[in-house]
Structure 1
Amino acid sequence: MKVGTTWGTNIKAFIVDYGPKIVGAILVYIIGQWIIRRLVTLIGKGISSGKFDVSLTKFLLSLVKVTFQLVLFLSIAGILGVNIMGFSAILAGAAVGIGAALNGSLGNLAGGVMMMVFKPFKVGDIIEAQGQVGVVQELGIFNTVILTPENKTVILPNGALSTGVIVNYNTAGHLRVDINMAIANDQDVDKARQVAIEAMKKHEKVLSTPAPEFAVSSVSDFMTKITIRPYTTQSDYWDVYFGVTELVKKAFDANGITGPTPTRVVYNK
């Protein structure tokens, strides 16, 4: 009987001491989550109505949500009687350890912040970085997502992205499409230029201003490398790239402009 009485007394004391705190913590959690959702929604609408791009909006909302969740967590800990100062010290120590273990992740976070500040690109831009070319789909806290012409989703870590070379094809408002080709050395370059430019003008998505360009990029023993450069808009980049390549190839064939033929010299001993 004494054991049962002791257990009953302990449970009763626990309920008296911690019951209200637990109930209060649960209520605060439920109400807090509702408030956070409302605040994030309102802040999101406020940011969206301003002059912020999609990348910055998503990034700021992520930071706001994490901050609110941390405040709610500390509030609940305080209601339950947890020593916040001591708990903060534990969190700080844990942060150091986690930071050492997640050095790359912190670097990606810092890279994300840097790109939000300096804005080398935005969602929808065509960029070339880390050996990849594609349209930016999302700029997150830790990584950037791009979609390649092959319809592949590539995730680039922000740390490497922020410290590497980034080519943004959208900066000037229109895009120059560089297409490398080659003709045989005995071909008339002026004729090739005229045929190529006329072929580029036939593509409906090639801009008239700036005008399409033709350049000789290099000459070797058996071929002359050329670069044709039509201009277009961001959304039509790949259509122009593949379409113009086909048009110029067909135009060269129709006008008797031949490509290089590799030669092999055989010595008889």
Structure 2
Amino acid sequence: MWTFLAAEDPASLIVPDSVQKAHFAEAVEKIANIDYHALLQSLLSESVWILIKILIALAIYFIGRWVVRRILKLVDVAMQHRNVDISLRSFTRNTISTVFTLLLVLIVVSTLGVNVTSLIAVASAATLAIGMALSGTAQNFAGGVMILLMKPYRVGDYISAQGQSGTVRDIKLFSTVITTADNQTIYIPNNSIATAIIDNYSTADLRRVDWTVGISYGDDVDVARKAVLAMLDADSRVLKDPAPVVWVAALADSSVNLTIRAWVKNGDYWNVFFEHNEEFYKELPKHGLSFPFPQMDVHMKKE
């Protein structure tokens, strides 16, 4: 009953001055009696131990990085000896590098005294949450695996996909890197490119070059055919078998359109295409042929 009344009495919450002075004197006495030499020695000992752990962790990190590089070099040599596809080499190398780097980080953190088990548990939960939020990343990884298994293209191939055209430079864990003809670097997500229509221009050794040339109505088609075939025959890059052909493709509104087809090696395609475009323009008029252009005849009637 007394305890309840004391708790209800506001005056009981005020500590008397004598008690406060006693507590302050006790605190001052404890501070005065501290063994500063032992405290300093303890702090110094702990600082040295922490510094040693940091140095050991750094040594482990740099040695580990060296070991990882050696492992990657051995893997590269082994895959080269087994003639593993260059695309698979790149993907495997990136995967091994990522896995071993994560293991090295865990070892370094453990050396510093962090509870790795708890860290892994927290990381797993965070990975699950991030994975649900970034499900596209996992799809890109799966897309990379599908690309390596199905092999629609390899490193070094010239492809067209997702509205981009260029030479494949690398197949990474989550994206494919291509370099365009004007030296731009394009990163295409693996999931997008794995499910897209891909034009691979490098799978065959030979490639057909097509031109469409319009000549005027009244021009001699045989003369045009003979002139074009003579130009192509003089080019050693144009294959004799299959032989080049020239056909009348369409009787258009203002021109007779000729389709010209020739076969070349894959690497000669663009040079042959552009050089003969210019040659046709310069040489065909010398044979009495002309290139028409769209025009409109206006007849005025006088009333």
Q: One fold, TM greater than 0.5? A: yes
Per the alignment, residue 65 of structure 2 pairs with 33
Once residues 226 and 105 of structure 1 are traced to their aligned partners in structure 2, the CA distance between those partners, rounded to angstroms, is: 49
Per the alignment, residue 64 of structure 1 pairs with 96
Q: Which runs of 5+ in 1 are unaligned?
A: none
Call closer, same or farther: CA 1:131–1:217 in 2, change over 3 Å. farther
The aligned amino acid for 1:77 is: V
Call closer, same or farther: CA 1:131–1:268 in 2, change over 3 Å. farther
- Counterparts of 1:9-48 in structure 2, within 5 Å, are 9-13=42-46, 15-16=48-49, 21-48=53-80
The aligned amino acid for 1:40 is: L
Higher mean alpha-carbon deviation, 53-62 vs 100-109, is at: 100-109
Per the alignment, residue 250 of structure 1 pairs with 282
Once residues 185 and 55 of structure 1 are traced to their aligned partners in structure 2, the CA distance between those partners, rounded to angstroms, is: 53
3-state SS in 2 of match to 1:145: strand
Call closer, same or farther: CA 1:99–1:139 in 2, change over 3 Å. same
- Paired residues of 2:168 and 2:176 also in contact (CA < 8 A): no
The aligned amino acid for 1:225 is: N
- Paired residues of 1:108 and 1:157 also in contact (CA < 8 A): no
Task: Give how far 1:69 is off.
Answer: 0.7
Alignment partner of 2:257 out of 217, 225, 233: 225
The aligned amino acid for 2:179 is: I
- Paired residues of 1:203 and 1:244 also in contact (CA < 8 A): no
Per the alignment, residue 124 of structure 1 pairs with 156
Identity fraction in percent:
32
1:115-141 deviations in Å (ceiling 9; x for gaps): 222222223323223334433344334
Per the alignment, residue 81 of structure 2 pairs with 49
The aligned amino acid for 1:174 is: L
Aligned length: 266
Once residues 262 and 74 of structure 2 are traced to their aligned partners in structure 1, the CA distance between those partners, rounded to angstroms, is: 45
The aligned amino acid for 2:194 is: S
Whether 2:288 is the aligned partner of 1:262: answer: no
Whether 2:123 is the aligned partner of 1:91: answer: yes
Once residues 197 and 85 of structure 1 are traced to their aligned partners in structure 2, the CA distance between those partners, rounded to angstroms, is: 76
Per the alignment, residue 184 of structure 2 pairs with 153
Once residues 229 and 139 of structure 1 are traced to their aligned partners in structure 2, the CA distance between those partners, rounded to angstroms, is: 34
1:141-197 deviations in Å (ceiling 9; x for gaps): 42322231xx33241413333222221122222122223332334444444333322
Per the alignment, residue 143 of structure 1 pairs with 176
- Paired residues of 2:232 and 2:244 also in contact (CA < 8 A): yes
Once residues 131 and 250 of structure 2 are traced to their aligned partners in structure 1, the CA distance between those partners, rounded to angstroms, is: 50
Task: Give how far 1:102 is off.
Answer: 5.1
Higher mean alpha-carbon deviation, 64-73 vs 257-266, is at: 257-266
TM-score (norm 1): 0.82
- Paired residues of 1:109 and 1:158 also in contact (CA < 8 A): no
Once residues 213 and 165 of structure 1 are traced to their aligned partners in structure 2, the CA distance between those partners, rounded to angstroms, is: 30
Call closer, same or farther: CA 1:3–1:260 in 2, change over 3 Å. farther
The aligned amino acid for 1:125 is: D
1:205-225 deviations in Å (ceiling 9; x for gaps): 112222223344444322333
Call closer, same or farther: CA 1:71–1:14 in 2, change over 3 Å. same
Once residues 115 and 299 of structure 2 are traced to their aligned partners in structure 1, the CA distance between those partners, rounded to angstroms, is: 89
Higher mean alpha-carbon deviation, 235-244 vs 223-232, is at: 223-232
3-state SS in 2 of match to 1:115: helix
The aligned amino acid for 1:195 is: A
Whether 2:246 is the aligned partner of 1:214: answer: yes
Once residues 142 and 299 of structure 2 are traced to their aligned partners in structure 1, the CA distance between those partners, rounded to angstroms, is: 61
Higher mean alpha-carbon deviation, 79-88 vs 201-210, is at: 79-88
Per the alignment, residue 212 of structure 2 pairs with 180
- Paired residues of 2:159 and 2:199 also in contact (CA < 8 A): yes
The aligned amino acid for 2:291 is: G
RMSD: 3.0
1:104-124 deviations in Å (ceiling 9; x for gaps): 555544433332222222233
Once residues 245 and 251 of structure 1 are traced to their aligned partners in structure 2, the CA distance between those partners, rounded to angstroms, is: 10
Once residues 230 and 163 of structure 2 are traced to their aligned partners in structure 1, the CA distance between those partners, rounded to angstroms, is: 33
